[in-house]
């Protein structure tokens, strides 16, 4: 169960200078992690683990997508002239940008998984503390 989450600004498709990482997603994940650390966001352990497992699955799926992606960074021949060479360079750079963006997305998914697990631990730890407090009072 989610008790409270920080407000998340949903903007346009702004990208960081590298063009590889959607800045809004990173900011959202950072806000969630801060909310968990501050005790403002918690989740039942099972819900948190399922969300984290889905993030782990996304990381593996991206690995599968990137198996053959290196081929996208090779320069192809588009004619032996200035325009052809420029086009080849742009396509090769676009391939590298794709790989960089996917690796950045993996980083976000890994951080999200850790955040969900931390949110689940918060509930588990609070339950254990409450149980101990009630035991101490009943003795």
Q: What residues does each domain of the chain span?
A: 23-138
- List, in order, residues 6 or more apart from 130 with CB less than 8 Å away: none
Reported pTM: 0.69
pLDDT of residue 22: 61
Report pLDDT digits (tens) over 51-103.
999 999 999 999 999 999 999 999 888 888 999 999 999 999 999 999 999 99
Report pLDDT digits (tens) over 27-54.
888 888 888 888 888 888 899 999 999 9
Report helix angle 23-37 to 82-138, nearest 10. 10
């Amino acid at each position: 169960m989610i008790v409270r989450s920080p407000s998340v600004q949903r903007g346009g498709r702004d990208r960081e200078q590298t063009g590889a990482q959607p800045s809004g997603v990173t900011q959202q994940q950072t806000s969630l992690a801060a909310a968990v650390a501050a005790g403002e966001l918690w989740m039942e352990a099972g819900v948190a683990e399922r969300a984290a497992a889905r993030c782990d699955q996304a990381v593996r799926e991206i690995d599968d997508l990137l198996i053959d992606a290196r081929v996208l960074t090779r320069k192809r021949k588009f004619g032996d002239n200035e325009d052809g060479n420029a086009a080849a360079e742009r396509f090769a750079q676009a391939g590298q940008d794709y790989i960089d963006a996917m690796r950045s997305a993996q980083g976000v998914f890994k951080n999200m998984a850790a955040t969900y697990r931390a949110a689940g631990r918060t509930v588990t730890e609070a339950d254990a503390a409450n149980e101990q407090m009630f035991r101490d009072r009943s003795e």
